[in-house]
Structure 1
Amino acid sequence: MHKKHKVFIVEDHQLFREGLKSMLNSRGDIEIVGDAEDGLDAIRKIRQVKPEMVLLDLSIPKISGISVMKEIKRDLPEIKILALTIHESDQYVLEAFDAGVNGYCIKDASRKELMVAIDSVLQGKSYISPGISDQVIEGYLDSKKTLKEESDWDTVTQREREVLKLLAEGYSNKEIAGFLHISVKTVEKHRSNLISKLDLHNVAQLTTFAIQKGLVEAKIM
Structure 2
Amino acid sequence: MRILLADDHTLFRAGLKNLLSTVDEMQIVGEASTGEEAIEQASLLNPDIILMDIRMPGLNGIEATKKIRETLPHVHILILSMFQDDQSVFTAMKVGAKGYILKDANEDELLHAIRMIASGGAVFGSVIAARMMDYFAVSSRYEPNDPAYAELTAREREILILISKNATNSQIASELHLSSKTVANYVTNILNKLQVSDRQEAKRIALKWKLNDHV
Match of 2:67 among 60, 68, 71: 71
Match of 1:111 among 96, 107, 113: 107
Residue number in structure 1 paired with 2:178: none
CA distance in 2, matches of 1:30, 1:116: 12
Residue number in structure 1 paired with 2:10: 14
State the 1:43 CA deviation: 0.6
Answer yes or no: is 1:47 the counterpart of 2:43. Answer: yes
More helix by share: 2
Match of 1:146 among 146, 153, 160: 153
State the 1:140 CA deviation: 4.9
Q: TM-score, normalised by structure 2?
A: 0.63
Match of 1:81 among 77, 81, 85: 77
Provide, for residues 188-218 of structure 1, a one-character-per-residue CA deviation record: whole Å limited to 9, x for no partner.
xxxxxxxxxxxxxxxxxxxxxxxxxxxxxxx
Residue number in structure 2 paired with 1:123: 119
Unaligned segments of structure 2, at least 5 residues: 141-151, 158-215
Q: Residue type of the partner of 1:38?
A: T
State the 1:138 CA deviation: 4.2
Matched length: 144
Instruction: Tell me the SS of whatever aligns to 1:26.
Output: coil
Tell me, yes or no, if the aligned pair for 2:100 and 2:128 is still in contact at 8 Å.
no
CA distance in 2, matches of 1:135, 1:39: 26
- Structure showing greater radius of gyration is 2
- Following superposition, which runs of at least 4 residues in structure 1 exceed 6 angstroms of deviation? none
Provide, for residues 151-187 of structure 1, a one-character-per-residue CA deviation record: whole Å limited to 9, x for no partner.
xxxxxxxxxxxxxxxxxxxxxxxxxxxxxxxxxxxxx
Identity of aligned residues (%): 33
Q: Residue type of the partner of 1:89?
A: D
Unaligned segments of structure 1, at least 5 residues: 150-221
Q: Aligned-pair RMSD on alpha carbons?
A: 1.6
Answer yes or no: is 1:27 the counterpart of 2:23. Answer: yes
State the 1:130 CA deviation: 0.6
State the 1:134 CA deviation: 2.5
CA distance in 1, matches of 2:109, 2:133: 20
Which of the pair has the greater relative contact order for Cα pairs under 8 Å at 6+ separation?
A: 1
Q: TM-score, normalised by structure 1?
A: 0.62
State the 1:146 CA deviation: 3.2
